[in-house]
Structure 1
Amino acid sequence: MVHKTVAGVLPDEWRGSLIKHVCKVVRGSSPRPAGSPLYFNGNFLPWATVADLTCSDDMYLTSTKSMLTEAGSERTRITDPGTLMLTNSGATLGVPKISSIRCGANDGIAMLLDLDGIATEFAYYYLYSKTQYFRVVIAPGVGQPNLNTELIGDFPIPVPPLPEQKKIAQILSTWDKAITTTEQLLANSQQQKKALMHQLLTGKNRLLDNNGVRFSGEWKTHKFGNLFKERVETGRDDLPLLSITADDGVVYQEDTGRKNTSNEDKSKYRRICVNDIGYNTMRMWQGRSSLSDKEGIVSPAYTIVTPTDKVCPVYAAYLFKLPALVYVFYRHSQGLVSDTWNLKFNHFKKIGWQLPSIDEQQKIAAVISTADQEISALQQKLDALKQEKKALMQQLLTGKRRVLVS
């Protein structure tokens, strides 16, 4: 059975309350003047800022980037371990954290003290589930949005029986651990890929050929003008509009989730084909390029190059991400300031680079592609875990799904 409460429709065993009725809401305090050496950059007390609370998704605050002096500690609000905090100003408001250290809290942080009938971890997860609601509904603003103590205090919160609260927090904590483990595996795989690219794309590590013999042929220097041809085909507005992204390759513009800001007249948009590489003419010095697995048209802000039979397209796409070559792109870019630097094909084609045989290129591309597939699988697993946790929070924190309490 359910009943209506200030916190919505809840199971009969649950009650609804306002945050101010289950705890005391206070705001942190910052020594003034800000940055004074009398108070800051000391070694007496950890100094918690909004940046410390929002730099990770961890439940607990275990350290801070800066410290207060003893004089500074006398001009802030000191929190004890176990205190529930909530960022209350700026674009990153509404982020909760449980402090596991004694620290000072600045005035961009609110604290929920003396929780009565509410488990700290349960309150953390409930506030975490409401972060976007805080930003969009409760404290929106054109200037500096602010979630003051009154707004926090008047916010409703469901109050299940304490044993059920603890069980809910325990279940969600298990999901958090799975997410953290997957994030670590993903980060490790990404680092391993970087090291692998450096070893293979520079010839420091040679692979085995199809006969099990290690490649040993000398790498030869080629001008890019001999390896790539520029594709300049326009007037194909019958083809789908594509977007070249830094991390997700070439995608259909409609799938990006971003507003279409392209010109209505697409007669000058450039055709890109499968196995072409498109690069941002004004951002190639930042490594902005992608191999296309689609045919379509892209903004004329991109240069489209087609690999010849002397270079493996997948190998070339990875090579264009190699930091040493990205630096060469930077050196060959033209323009007075970074906002106008550009690498048009006329300058791109003059760049020379050492490449192995086409057979070795294909082997290298296959190995790096396998590493990419592993990263993609981990990213998909991570996204799924986060989505499942979000759905689980919605059910558990509102009583729509009950848990067994032993």
Structure 2
Amino acid sequence: MFADLPELGSLVNSVNVRGYQVTTDQYRAEGAHPIVDQGKKLICGYCDAPTLPCRLPVTVFGDHTREVKFITFPFVVGADGTKVLEPAGDQNPRYLSALIEYAAGRISSLGYARHFKELREARVPYTPMIAEQARVAAVLEAWDDAVAVAERLVATRQDRFVWVQSAVLTGRVRLLGCAQAWAATPLSRVLHEHRTTSTGAESVFSVSVHRGLIDQVEHLGRSFAAASTEHYNLVRPGDIVYTKSPTGDFPLGIIKQSKVERAVIVSPLYGVFTPASRELGILLDAYFASPDATLRYLTPLVQKGAKNTIAVTNTQFLQGRVILPSDSAETAMLASLVETCLSEARTAESQITLLRRQKHGLMHKLLTGEWRIPAGGDSFAPGGPAADRLAETAE
């Protein structure tokens, strides 16, 4: 049976990480040991610092981010805000990690302030029965494995797309049967600045580095448009949008294709161009999805002496050259390849989303005792008889 709701702090101990924590400037792409911090990624980097001496497995809680990770391998503790938690008694570590995740999802966000005090004081459903804890842990571990498989599939799809960008979309690797030489082509030959403005009825969009065109109200909480948007640029589906505002790894701007299925508007600070064909738009969007490709294209166009300013005009933007296929048939095949890669990646990502939603719903029901696990617990395994109900019951 499930006991009265105890405070989570009575069930966990905080591991002392003093002397085993590294700062962000010590993160490397390679190293002897993985680094785990409070960010979303399971492993945020590598280094040669000593690993944390602790009783694995443990749970990492992001004091600022409220991210929760169940860690089964030796690791180096990342930057400030990374809390490492272990059972205060003989609780099952995976069961306890689920309780921490349950509590973290219910404490209020304090922005970038610390949340560990609220986490410790959170009341959680708890069973002291070790056998019951073990059954819950076994089921959740099966779902962890299913999510991990899906994540590896997404990573494989992403790696393949990166290879397509760097090898196939540059002409270094050719499709079978395609022999016609590629040519350095000015964008002015394949893009047209249509200069169409708002009718007053369209939604205002911005351009995101990672998400492309986004609705300001939906994604940013409000519109940042001027009082009158009559001078805003119209963006039709498939148009290429260039933002001249420096940001992060894109100090000279961002180049994205609109995937929105209706006409929208953007600030006059964006250049809007219509591709000569649907296929060329797909290729250019895939090519410029690489930050390196964007910088290589834009850097020669910057006016001398200009630094992080709106220095590349729309006219200058169209003067740069990109190596493109000369054969329209090859262009069509390449566009089809890009669409296939992106579609497969979206399908894999959707599978992860579904699995996580199902796992979240199952975890809630098992921890609260609403669902009890029979001997074997097969009905709660991924793909089992109960799995198809979980997405509907997830909170």
After the TM superposition, which residues 282-361 of structure 1 pair with which residues of structure 2 at under 5 Å, given as runs? 282-283=245-246, 285=252, 287-292=254-259, 293-308=261-276, 312-322=280-290, 323-324=292-293, 326-334=295-303, 339-356=308-325, 357-361=327-331
Distance 1:388 1:107, change over 3 A: closer
**Could you tell me which residue of structure 2 aligns to residue 231 of structure 1?**
194
**Could you tell me which residue of structure 2 aligns to residue 264 of structure 1?**
227
User: What do you get for the CA RMSD once the two structures are aligned?
Assistant: 3.8
CA distance in 2, matches of 1:391, 1:342: 51
Task: Give identity over the alignment, percent.
Answer: 17
**Are 1:147 and 2:129 an aligned pair?**
no
**Are 1:157 and 2:124 an aligned pair?**
yes
The residue matched to 1:303 in structure 2 has which SS? strand
Structure number with the higher strand fraction is 1
CA distance in 1, matches of 2:56, 2:318: 61
User: Displacement, 1:378?
Assistant: 0.6
**Are 1:400 and 2:382 an aligned pair?**
no
Asked if structure 1 preserves the Cα contact closer than 8 Å seen for 2:20 and 2:77, the reply is no
CA distance in 1, matches of 2:273, 2:343: 25
Gaps of 5+ in 1: 1-12, 209-213
**Are 1:82 and 2:51 an aligned pair?**
no
Question: Which structure has the bigger radius of gyration?
Answer: 1
Q: Tell me the TM-score normalized by structure 1.
A: 0.75
**Could you tell me which residue of structure 1 aligns to residue 150 of structure 2?**
182
Distance 1:83 1:16, change over 3 A: farther
Alignment equivalent of 1:378, drawn from 348, 370, 389: 348
The residue matched to 1:279 in structure 2 has which SS? strand
CA distance in 1, matches of 2:189, 2:77: 62
User: Displacement, 1:327?
Assistant: 1.3
**Are 1:16 and 2:11 an aligned pair?**
no
Q: Tell me the TM-score normalized by structure 2.
A: 0.76
CA distance in 1, matches of 2:297, 2:120: 56
User: Displacement, 1:97?
Assistant: 3.9
**Could you tell me which residue of structure 1 aligns to residue 101 of structure 2?**
128
CA distance in 1, matches of 2:307, 2:4: 56
User: Displacement, 1:374?
Assistant: 0.6
Distance 1:340 1:197, change over 3 A: same
Q: Report the AA paired with residue 138 of structure 2.
A: Q
Asked if structure 2 preserves the Cα contact closer than 8 Å seen for 1:335 and 1:342, the reply is no
User: Displacement, 1:192?
Assistant: 0.7
CA distance in 1, matches of 2:21, 2:165: 49
CA distance in 1, matches of 2:328, 2:345: 26
CA distance in 2, matches of 1:360, 1:304: 26
CA distance in 2, matches of 1:33, 1:195: 35
CA distance in 1, matches of 2:194, 2:230: 15
Q: Report the AA paired with residue 109 of structure 1.
A: K
Of 376-385 and 287-296, deviating more is 287-296
Asked if structure 2 preserves the Cα contact closer than 8 Å seen for 1:47 and 1:64, the reply is yes
Of 333-342 and 349-358, deviating more is 333-342
Distance 1:19 1:84, change over 3 A: farther
